[in-house]
Structure 1
């Protein structure tokens, strides 16, 4: 019986994606080459070029398929603690060299799919937490939940992108506390 080409393709694709992320973390984006990815994955360059035109789209797919995106823990009942956890997880992702290297390039290339596929899952978790808090009366009913999520996460992404100051847990906690004071009827 001949080898299953689909299984071989899936195995090769995964090996390429893993190799790309490992190498971008070790070398950085500027030193990463398709040749190095091919060698590490044990495939020919032509196999990579058959699926991706360049290293940017390859790394984007690698992050989408293998990267740290989203968070599934159930709400704890403490909105501030839940939001602080989400923002800390976002900071942790931004601190990962592979995520940082690839996302900076994708932002530079104005890849709108970066926002949709990599950043939107965390935003949806934050919006869900805020909507739940709104139903419980912990967030004012007139608050635009989407705008509030942007306030929370946008400050992190701006600080990360511009490198104006370090991203720390103290910063994320201060952002959550400040935004929650603005969203609540309580002092």
Structure 2
């Protein structure tokens, strides 16, 4: 008599992990961060509470990891490398490409709804806000710093420019407009941000007397 194959624990764990990610993001988007609980995530995912605590120490840890996973999946579906800025030698084109991908992400309801909930909570919940910045925002901003430094080495950006400040010329307006809904976000908008920013930080030609 043929024996039944042993259960694949790896596959079962991955299925549970995916269900927990989806449940956490859906729940925080529906009820907000304060009302999202580990118990609620577990119930929605169809797993035991102990399963979540075995993998994560808190609901914040679950949500941050789920968010990173969502960004990775979204990029892969679009055929892009997650958390990467290309270096084709054309700084303007590279920045426009990554900001267009960011626009797609911000307009995707799967990302937008939980992102707004977590961002809003991070403003009043200092520990969560700090963790959100440290684990999610800063690694992405560092990619801009690295790309701008490479552009400095290539002579496309003035050597006296601070890349960490310069990136805010196009990243911060987009974030502000999206968060406060002060206007539409689009490819044209982010392309214009890049054009304006690079006009100010590009190499300066000597003035003729």
Given the two structures, how large is their TM-score scaled by the length of structure 1? Answer: 0.78
RMSD (Å), alpha carbons = 3.1
In structure 2, the residue matched to 1:145 is 163
Query: Any residues of structure 2 matched to 1:1-187 within 5 Å, and which?
Result: 8-9=12-13, 11-21=15-25, 23=26, 28-30=29-31, 37-38=41-42, 41-45=45-49, 47-48=51-52, 51=56, 54=59, 57-64=61-68, 66-68=69-71, 70-72=82-84, 74-110=86-122, 111-186=129-204
User: For the pair shown, which has the larger CA radius of gyration, 1 or 2?
Assistant: 2
Q: Which range moved further: 120-129 or 173-182?
A: 120-129
| Runs of 5+ consecutive residues of structure 2 not aligned to the other structure | 1-5, 73-81, 123-128
Q: CA deviation at 1:155?
A: 1.0
> Moved runs in structure 1, 4+ residues, more than 6 A?
2-7, 31-36
The DSSP-based 3-state class of the residue aligned with 2:31 is coil
Q: CA deviation at 1:90?
A: 1.7
Q: Report how many residues are paired.
A: 182
Contact 2:170–2:194 under 8 Å retained in 1: yes
Contact 2:100–2:187 under 8 Å retained in 1: yes
Summarize deviations over 1:36-77 as a string: whole Å, max 9, x none.
7545533235544664655x653333112x121543354111
Q: Which range moved further: 8-17 or 170-179?
A: 8-17
Contact 1:86–1:126 under 8 Å retained in 2: no
Q: Which range moved further: 155-164 or 3-12?
A: 3-12
Q: Which range moved further: 92-101 or 38-47?
A: 38-47
The DSSP-based 3-state class of the residue aligned with 1:67 is helix
Distance 2:169 2:132 in 1: 19
Distance 1:157 1:74 in 2: 21
| Runs of 5+ consecutive residues of structure 1 not aligned to the other structure | none
Greater relative CO (CA pairs within 8 A, separation 6+): 1
